[in-house]
Amino acid sequence: MAGVRALGSLSRLTTRRYNLTMFPGVTRRTFRVAACMMARTHVNYEIKGDVAVIRMNDPSARVNTLSVQMQREMTEVMDEVWGNSAVQSVVLISSKPGSFIAGADLNMIQACTTAEEVTLLSQEGQKMFEKIEKSPKPIVAAINGSCLGGGFEFAIACQYRIATKSKKTVLGCPEVMLGLLPGAGGTQRLPKMLGLPSAFDVVLTGRSIRPDKAKKMGLVHQLVDTLGPGLKSPEERTIEYLEEVAVEAARGLAKKQIPLTKEKGLMQKIQDYVMSYPFVRQQIYNTVQKKVMKQTKGLYPAPLKIIECVKAGLEQGPTAGYLAESQNFGKLAMTPESKALIGLYHGQVTCKKNRFGTPEKEVKALAVLGAGLMGAGIAQVSVDKGIHTILKDTTLEGLSRGEQQVYKGLNDKTKKKSITTFERDSFLSNLTGQLDYNGFNKADMVIEAVFEDLSIKHKVLKEVEAVIPPHCIFATNTSALPIKDIAAVSKRPEKVIGMHYFSPVDKMQLLEIITTDKTSKDTTASAVAVGLKQGKVIIVVGDGPGFYTTRCLAPMLAEAVRVLQEGVDPKKLDSLTTGFGFPVGAATLADEVGIDVAAHVAEDLGKAFGSRFGGGNIEFLKSMVDKGFKGRKSGKGCYIYQPGLKRRDVNTEALEILESYKLTPNAAISSDSDIQYRLVSRFVNEAVLCLQEGILANPVEGDIGAVFGLGFPPCLGGPFRFVDSFGADKLVEKMRKFEEVFGNQFTPCQLLLDHAKDPSKKFHK
Amino acid sequence: MSLSLIRTVLLTAFSFCSAARSLSTSVHLQAQGNVSGVMLTCEKWKMPIPFSQYNSKSKKTLAKPGVKNIVLVDGVRTPFLQSGTTYADLMPHDLARAALQGLLNRTGLPKDAVDYIVYGTVIQEVKTSNVAREAALGAGFSDKTPAHTVTMACISSNQAMTTAVGLIAAGQCDAVVAGGVEFMSDVPIRHSRKMRKTMLSLNKAKTLGARLSLLGSIRLAHLSPELPAVAEFSTAETMGHSADRLAAAFGVSRLEQDEFALRSHTLAKKAQDGGMLSDVISFKVPGRDIVSKDNGIRPATMEQLAKLKPAFIKPHGTVTAANSSFLTDGASAVLIMSEEKALAMGYKPKAYLRDFVYVSQDPKDQLLLGPTYATPKVLEKSGLTLNDIDVFEFHEAFAGQIMANLKAMESDWFAQTYMGRKTKVGAPPMEKFNTWGGSLSLGHPFAATGCRLVTTVAHRLQKEGGQYGLVAACAAGGQGHAMVIEAYPQ
């Protein structure tokens, strides 16, 4: 469905990059009690000559985190090492393959009830890292795997850093994506290490930095290659090798053979000189502040607080800086934005698991029908995961365009150096483009992405079922047609399932899987497994017109059309929606989705749900389509799109069409805020109704689907979290006001009313 | 061996040259009677056992019913010289010509008795892309003798020889000359792709205006040349870098590598001085002196070796210019015949060429492990065990690569985890291993090394009285080769 391009920083938040322990606090606490009585379990050390090698390994988790236990043991070990006169230098390393320290223990922060408690946590971290920074014995951080958040702050407090070139090695401070800030000295040390502009870039974007880039930036001093097969497993030996190299470096540092301070380059000197003027720094603060405000519309407090902390440190000295950092960290942890983002993070982790178990047969051979935008996109995200994929189209031109799309998608990755040209070629070797059904007899799954028309889908299904083997799953990629209607002509409806991808497939993280009451559990498990392999965040929903995502979006778009008919300019409509936190404005969204698709879906869902889906006049959409204004793909929609031009002008011809459908706005409910709530409340009400009707399995999937598929404001955490934090009663109150004017389109659903009546009822605990 | 070794010298030219200079000083010192002192420094490496000890052995022959016996009649090579030295002004086919002519002289073979010529090369001179044919014509072979060129990185001449074996076994030929040449003193350096495109369009441009506009499109950046591939194409990793990682993966220390390199140079020096390297022919280089000796052998001291900085992985790598094979110019050639034909022509063959295998594995992490994979496979094919082999000749791309292979062959875990075998094959005993030096010291002209290995095995079997020899080599692309050679009854 939706062509939501930019989802804000959150869309880049993936489990692989940002692992925080997900263990409920309870189990952790009981474990901790037991651990106190035992010897150290998380941190131990070995003295190799004059070098102490400190190894971290959290036995209860897949990744290391700076938990209370880890911090306590680390303090103990550090004291012992500092007190040992035989030790001249220290190496800090993780025994876990793939994780140095993935961050602070999120549960530790979530367990706090006041800002002061969180501030205290931050101050403890600051103190610990200050001691590390001032260590009389040089400490080498030997980094393999994720070095993020608190782990990253730990590493940059050390005197020297060596990282492996492993694909799993990433550095960065993603706290901002969780609505927080690096609260253990990150905002203070980074500006000094990297200079102001780079430091802001790292801290404000929260992006992951790969080892080679980190070396260039000066974040790490030395890189170590990953090793292949030897006398031990590659992972094990790589860690050993890293340790060997780090121990040598530590010795060199202790003997002053390796200098701690690097000679500054000319550019660096110039930059430092320029930065020494308060006026210049002030300009940078202002520029960054403006940029942040432009991108976040002021809806995200974390970036602003980060700027504040950096500023305090540089302008008023370290004491003020560290104080600002810890206090702001405390404040941010209590904001609804942070809670929403952390909720999304947890939800995303949940939606990266297959709750239907392991399928009986792994899908190794896939066939995609239709080489259009969607079909080619699905093929692209499959071939680069090693799935043999047939891409079938009916015309040579269509096939050629589709194959070119796959090639371009992969080739763009080589340009960004995320894959090599050789990898591109070997991925492409998994792709077979063809016009016939040759080889379908060996397919484990067929995903059809043909035109959204029931009779075409029926024809395709029958053709496919004639050639595929009995175990093969038939998945249909549709944004609105009920799966059971498509499955009606199937000889084996238990093998039919809906897989609703979002465009562009290689960028959008969400996959909505739709099961009918006949779909077997194994079919579902298999579809989820394929989706996960393709790197998707998955929600599994029940069947019905529009399923979940399209069904929520349709009433909002209907309302958007009405708003346009009431004479609101498309640009104004866009700024109202983005101002609420949507990454893409409603008018732009309609253009991205395609006006024809919107008209089609609106008509279908209108038939299915009746007047509740009314609002804007569908005839307006149809007139647009008649004129050829189908949105971005046709060059004209609400806006005019010119290739190569970033600037978009409002399509005046569309405004002329609007004239003939003009409505008179009701002044009582047409303020900017009212318009925003008219749009959002219809979205949210429909989402809650989906939960009430059982289309949705739980509110978590509802939130994830809305944010990752439709661009619901991440700072609000999704429609369900929004209801929780905004208050169901307040939302109902607003809806009742709109209901008076527009009728049942704004009638709150029963579940929402229940929540409004009983404030203790929450979707998220 | 490697295309990427180019980098060893291209990139470390300065440090390498200075190292070479200091090392060569020591060669002179040792040549004046200090050799025993050097040998003390590497006593860890067992020296060859006198060949008389092998004489008592008598094993079955590997002849198979219904399979033709194919023999190595003789093999020669030009002296292997560090690139950029005496051969610098030649062309590849000149070197190949010298080897072919040397073979004719050595064997007294009538030129028209050769049915076919197969020659290997790695870095192709674009003017002589079928270098086999150009060299054969230039060497005075009959113009009725067809010739083709093969390429398979460092095992190119192995491929040439096994192609010859195939032609004879299939009954298509009776006498085939195989060989290989590598000329690193001059390598093709191309214009950039954009420049080439412009130049090609220029050929087609008809009007002056079109030509001028094409000329006008040339930018300064287009003029920067394209050096020959210095890296594995599939992984973009240079071979030295991969060798360093391989050494680290198997925990091979810098010391072990330097010791092995020193062993290679020491043994090569001894073999050279002892007149063992009888496959080397003298070659009068036009405009220069007669060359009759390899010039890369330079035994140094461990201290001198220890001083060198890592060449590829800095600062903590272990592969240096001194424990890697160096860029070399050279050519080799062998005469391969069916046994009957050889006997009919009155030759006394030197050895039987028996079973051979080619293997390939992951070009990233197992680039240089060819010998580990090929050895057990070829032994199995021949029904032999490692203990049956009297003479081992492995290609020494890097000391670290040899040591890694030895460790891999000695590891049950590696055999089980990566090779799908129940047990390890075992590492060759050092007293039978490369006892006349190897690629590290003699030099490694990529496509000429294979024939040197086979000829050396034949010669060692004759000298030492053993019956079976084993050749194994790794090659770029993650490929490998091994061949079992049986001594011809004396």
- If DSSP states are collapsed to H, E and C, what string results for A574-634? HHHHHHHCCCCCHHHHHHHHCHHHHHHHHHHHHHHHHHHHCCCCHHHHHHHHHCCCCEHHH
Which parts of chain A sit beneath pLDDT 70?
Answer: 1-38
Question: Chain B contact for A237, CB < 8 A?
Answer: yes
Yes or no, beta carbons of B248 and A231 under 8 Å apart: no
- Coil, strand or helix at A237: helix
pLDDT at site A87 = 96
- Tell which B residues from 360 to 389 touch A, by Cβ distance under 8 Å: 362, 364-366
Helices within A297-395 (DSSP H only): 301-316, 318-333, 336-350, 373-383
Lowest mean pLDDT of A75-79, A744-748, B38-42, B99-103, name the range.
B38-42
Cα of A245 to nearest chain B Cα, Å:
7
pLDDT at site B229 = 64
Question: Over pLDDT 70: what percentage of chain B?
Answer: 88
pLDDT at site A267 = 82
Q: Which residues of A touch B419 (CB under 8 A)?
A: none
Yes or no, beta carbons of A237 and B249 under 8 Å apart: yes
pLDDT in tens, B364-421: 999 999 999 999 999 999 999 999 999 999 999 999 999 999 999 999 999 999 999 9
User: Helix crossing, A719-726 with A672-693: angle to 10°?
Assistant: 120
Question: Chain B contact for A241, CB < 8 A?
Answer: yes
Cα of A391 to nearest chain B Cα, Å:
26
Report the alpha-carbon distance of residue A492 to residue A474 in Å, rounded: 9
Measured between its terminal Cα atoms, the distance across chain A in Å is 31
Q: How far is CA B162 from CA A112, B367, B440, in A?
A: 74, 22, 24
Report the alpha-carbon distance of residue B334 to residue B55 in Å, rounded: 27
- Coil, strand or helix at A148: strand
* pLDDT (mean) for B31-57: 41
Report the alpha-carbon distance of residue B437 to residue B396 in Å, rounded: 9
Cα of B241 to nearest chain A Cα, Å:
9
pLDDT at site B16 = 35
Which of the following is catalytic: A512, A592, A686, A701?
A512
Q: Which residues of B touch A237 (CB under 8 A)?
A: 248-249, 251
Closest to B249 (Cβ–Cβ): which among A224, A228, A248?
A228
Mutate to test the interface with A, among B233, B316, B414 (most CBs of A within 10 A): B316
Lowest mean pLDDT of A364-378, B39-53, B211-225, name the range.
B39-53
Count of A–B CB contacts within 8 Å? 61
pLDDT in tens, A341-355: 999 999 999 999 999
Yes or no, beta carbons of B362 and A228 under 8 Å apart: yes
- A178: its two tokens: 């969780």
Q: Is B5 left (phi over 0), alpha (psi -120 to 50) or beta?
A: alpha
Confirm whether pTM is higher than 0.80: yes
Residues in a beta bridge with A104? A66
Question: Chain A contact for B229, CB < 8 A?
Answer: no
Residue B1 exposure: Cα atoms within 13 Å on the Cβ side = 35
Token look-up 């223990």 returns A105
B179, B99 in Cβ contact below 8 A? yes
Q: How confident is the model at residue B66 (pLDDT cuts 50, 70, 90)?
A: confident
- Tell which B residues from 170 to 209 touch A, by Cβ distance under 8 Å: none
Mutate to test the interface with B, among A232, A235, A258, A420 (most CBs of B within 10 A): A232
Helices within A618-698 (DSSP H only): 618-626, 652-660, 672-693
Report the alpha-carbon distance of residue A46 to residue A68 in Å, rounded: 22
A547, A703 in Cβ contact below 8 A? no
Yes or no, beta carbons of A422 and B235 under 8 Å apart: yes
Closest to B251 (Cβ–Cβ): which among A224, A230, A422?
A230
Q: How far is CA A105 from CA A21, A67, A111, A325, A748, in A?
A: 6, 5, 10, 18, 39
Average pLDDT of chain B, as a whole number: 89
Token look-up 């600062």 returns B315
Cα of A389 to nearest chain B Cα, Å:
23
Domains of chain B, first to last: 10-50+237-276+353-480 (3.40.47.10)
Mutate to test the interface with B, among A231, A245, A425, A426 (most CBs of B within 10 A): A231
Question: Chain A contact for B414, CB < 8 A?
Answer: yes
pLDDT at site B10 = 39
Give the nearest chain A residue to B236 (CA atoms).
A420
Lowest mean pLDDT of A35-39, B312-316, B325-329, name the range.
A35-39
Q: Which residues of A touch B250 (CB under 8 A)?
A: 230-231
Catalytic residues of B: 154, 474
Mutate to test the interface with A, among B193, B235, B242, B250 (most CBs of A within 10 A): B250
Closest to A230 (Cβ–Cβ): which among B236, B250, B364?
B250
- If DSSP states are collapsed to H, E and C, what string results for chain B? CCCCHHHHHHHHHHHHHHHHHHHHHHHHHHHHHHHHHHHHHCCCCCCCCCHHHHCCCCCCCCCCCCCCCEEEEEEEECCCEECCCCCCCCCHHHHHHHHHHHHHHHHCCCHHHCCEEEEECCCCCHHHCCHHHHHHHHCCCCCCCCEEEECECECHHHHHHHHHHHHHHCCCCCEEEEEEEECCCCCCCECCHHHHHHHHHHHHCCCHHHHHHHHHCCCHHHHCCECCCCCCCCCCCCHHHHHHHHHHHCCCCHHHHHHHHHHHHHHHHHHHHCCCCCCECCEECCCCCEECCCCCCCCCCHHHHHHCCCCCCCCCCCCCCCCECCEEEEEEEEEEEEHHHHHHCCCCCCEEEEEEEEEECCCCCCCCCHHHHHHHHHHHHHCCCHHHCCEEEECCCEHHHHHHHHHHHCCHHHHHHHCCCCCCCCCCCHHHECECECHHHHCECHHHHHHHHHHHHHHHHHHHCCCEEEEEEEECCCEEEEEEEEECCC
Closest to B245 (Cβ–Cβ): which among A227, A233, A420?
A227
Respond yes or no on whether ipTM tops 0.85. yes
Question: Chain B contact for A222, CB < 8 A?
Answer: yes
